[in-house]
Structure 1
């Protein structure tokens, strides 16, 4: 599904080049559930943003479903992002002025899904995540765990092939965290490919493979998970 070949990300300032990612070679197969771990500043979020078409590599090849992302124009990248990728953020990134219903509906508006179909799809998500009673509330009226559930519902409403999660449980207490990770496990069992970034070994244990980054480079495949 994903093939990264010799990916570098760097920033040039005057006579100095600062590397954020160095020579990343990585293959992610459809249906995998992968965790990216590493200390702060290791390049985890940058790698996730490149996978999600939110950032471009400075050098190297990125193949997504066989297509060379590094050669796509911005419109094609944007189309890919809308149709194939769901994002879940640590800070939820919900729009406070919109209700739960409207937040979940938002990606469908971008994709110009017809009104009747939108209603059916949002209703299905509200039902699936047991938040029908919350549909007319605004994000500030919800707990952190509830906001993240809404974030997950919004991320998957378009049936993405790839779900990217950046510290999805970073702001949650343990019970809420486990609820979100069990949700991810179920989605993965249904065929969604998931790549998450986390600092938590406990949350990483839900995934099937752990990739470790240090100073922008892959240091090891997870020693505990045999492929």
Structure 2
């Protein structure tokens, strides 16, 4: 489904190239639940940004369903990003001028989901995350944990084929974190491909595969077996 070949990402300093990612070769099959782990600065977020078509400043080849991303027109790449991917950002990236309801609605508008269906999907998500009373509030009126829940609801509202999550439980208390990981597990069972970056080993245990990154390189890539 997704294949990266010899991906390098670097910045040019005055005297040398500083690599953020180096020689990344990675295949993610449809329906996998992959966890990226590694210390801060290992390249996890950068790799997620490349996978999610948010960063095209790299060398190497990125293929989706066998088609090379660099051969696509900008318009087609943008359409692919909006139709296939859901993204949970570490820094929320909610739209300040929109309410909780309107933020969650955004990907559904991109996908031209009819109004009555949009309302039903959002109502279910608000109920699931105990946010019904917050639906008319703006991001600035929410706590960090609440903003994260809205970001997660927005990412999964459109039922993306690929869900990319950058430290999805980083601002949540343990009960909320467990609930979110169980939602991910449910989405995975329904066929969603998930790639998450996390520091939490217990989050990795919900998935099917664990990839460790150190200094921008893959050091280990192993299957996770569930008893």
TM-score above 0.5, yes or no: yes
Q: Does structure 1 retain, via aligned residues, the 8 Å contact 2:152–2:168?
A: no
**Count of matched residue pairs:** 226
Shift of 1:63: 0.9
Partner of 1:43 in structure 2? 43
TM-score, normalised via structure 2 length: 0.89
- Post-superposition offset of 1:187: 1.1
Aligned to 1:104: 104
Structure 2, unaligned runs of 5 or more:
none
Counterpart in the other structure of 1:26 = 26
Helix, strand or coil at the partner of 1:31: coil
Displacement of 1:116 in angstroms is 4.4
1:17 corresponds in structure 2 to: 17
RMSD value, Cα: 2.2
- What residue in structure 2 maps to residue 188 of structure 1? 188
Post-superposition offset of 1:115: 3.8
Match of 1:118 in 2: 118
Q: For residues 143 and 215 of structure 1, do their structure 2 counterparts lie closer, same or farther at Cα, with a shift above 3 Å needed?
A: same
Give me the whole-angstrom Cα distance separating, in 1, the residues matched to 2:145 and 2:102: 18
What does residue 160 of structure 1 align with? 160
SS at match of 2:20: strand
Q: Which residue of 2 aligns with 1:198?
A: 198
- Which residue does the alignment assign to 2:78? 78
- The 8 Å contact of residues 207 and 224 in structure 2, kept in 1 or not, is answered as no
Q: Where in structure 1 are there 5+ consecutive unaligned residues?
A: none
TM-fit CA distance, 1:20? 1.0
The worse-fitting range, judged by mean Cα deviation, of 120-129 and 22-31 is 120-129
- In structure 2, distance between residues paired with 1:52 and 1:59: 16
The CA distance in 2 between the partners of 1:119 and 1:226, in whole Å, is 38
Q: Structure 1 residues 97 and 15 mapped into 2: Cα distance closer, same or farther (>3 Å)?
A: same
